[in-house]
Chains A and B, each alone.
Chain A
Amino acid sequence: QKEVEQDPGPLSVPEGAIVSLNCTYSNSAFQYFMWYRQYSRKGPELLMYTYSSGNKEDGRFTAQVDKSSKYISLFIRDSQPSDSATYLCAMGDTGRRALTFGSGTRLQVQP
């Protein structure tokens, strides 16, 4: 079993929809959590960084962390065709600098 599980999709939604992306993890040592967006043939781009349980909002994006359930989510409001990309969750513990990534969820927002 992988340390971080993420549904690969693809997830197809109409423009303007609310998108929910999720990851589960098994390593209770993970303390900080990130979401990256990756367009085809590009490197991942950091969207959200959270260090604790709860919600964090930035524009149309909300990251949610539930450490007791080992479950994290990213919500995208008013989705746009330009949001079409692969979304990667990543997490790390304070003892190491290495991040452990999920396999990514491919999102398609239809105009």
Chain B
Amino acid sequence: DTGVSQDPRHKITKRGQNVTFRCDPISEHNRLYWYRQTLGQGPEFLTYFQNEAQLEKSRLLSDRFSAERPKGSFSTLEIQRTEQGDSAMYLCASSGGDGYTFGSGTRLTVV
């Protein structure tokens, strides 16, 4: 098992465009999380899945954000009509018990 995999590693997009990120968790982990991290700050919680069910969403997850985890395997995070304020590192993590394993993140730059 190679850990949590995120794709792409970097994404540069123009303001107003839609972007989608993918996360492949550790295969035996049933919990999956998305966090956002800006420079000099700790990660901020966005949303959480247990298997395919999205059980918790942060107020940070505006209507422009949507996340899915079909069949309880990989997950996607889509941001519609991107804004400059969306520029951040988007981190995915998975868990099967205590603690999380994070991926290396997708760095989004909105220009």
Given A98-B48, A98-B56, A103 and B42 contact (CB-CB distance below 8 Å): yes
Residues of B within 8 A of A88 (CB): 42-43
Residues of A within 8 A of B33 (CB): 97-98
Does the CB pair A43–B42 fall under 8 Å? no
1-29 of chain A: CB within 8 A of chain B: 4, 6, 8
**A60 contacts B by Cβ under 8 Å:** no
How far does the alpha carbon of A63 sit from the alpha carbon of B103 in the complex, in Å? Answer: 24
Does the CB pair A103–B40 fall under 8 Å? yes
Residues of A within 8 A of B93 (CB): 43
In the complex, number of A-B residue pairs with CB atoms less than 8 Å apart: 56
**B73 contacts A by Cβ under 8 Å:** no
Given A46-B99, A49-B98, A99 and B45 contact (CB-CB distance below 8 Å): yes
Size of B's binding interface in residues, CB under 8 A: 25
Does the CB pair A96–B100 fall under 8 Å? no
How far does the alpha carbon of A90 sit from the alpha carbon of B91 in the complex, in Å? Answer: 15
How far does the alpha carbon of A49 sit from the alpha carbon of B101 in the complex, in Å? Answer: 12
Size of A's binding interface in residues, CB under 8 A: 25
**B105 contacts A by Cβ under 8 Å:** yes
How far does the alpha carbon of A21 sit from the alpha carbon of B30 in the complex, in Å? Answer: 32
Residues of A within 8 A of B74 (CB): none
**A66 contacts B by Cβ under 8 Å:** no
Q: Which of A34, A46, A98, A104 has its CB near the most chain B CB atoms (within 10 A)?
A: A98
- The smallest beta-carbon distance between A89 and chain B, in angstroms, is 8
Residues of A within 8 A of B45 (CB): 98-100
9 shortest interchain CB distances as A-B pairs = A101-B42, A43-B102, A98-B45, A46-B99, A49-B99, A97-B48, A43-B104, A44-B102, A49-B98
A sample of 6 cross-chain residue pairs with beta-carbon separation below 8 angstroms, ordered by A number, consists of A4-B42, A43-B104, A46-B99, A49-B99, A97-B48, A101-B42
Chain B residues at the A interface, C-beta cutoff of 8 Å: 4, 31, 33, 40-45, 48, 50, 55-56, 58, 91, 93, 98-105, 107
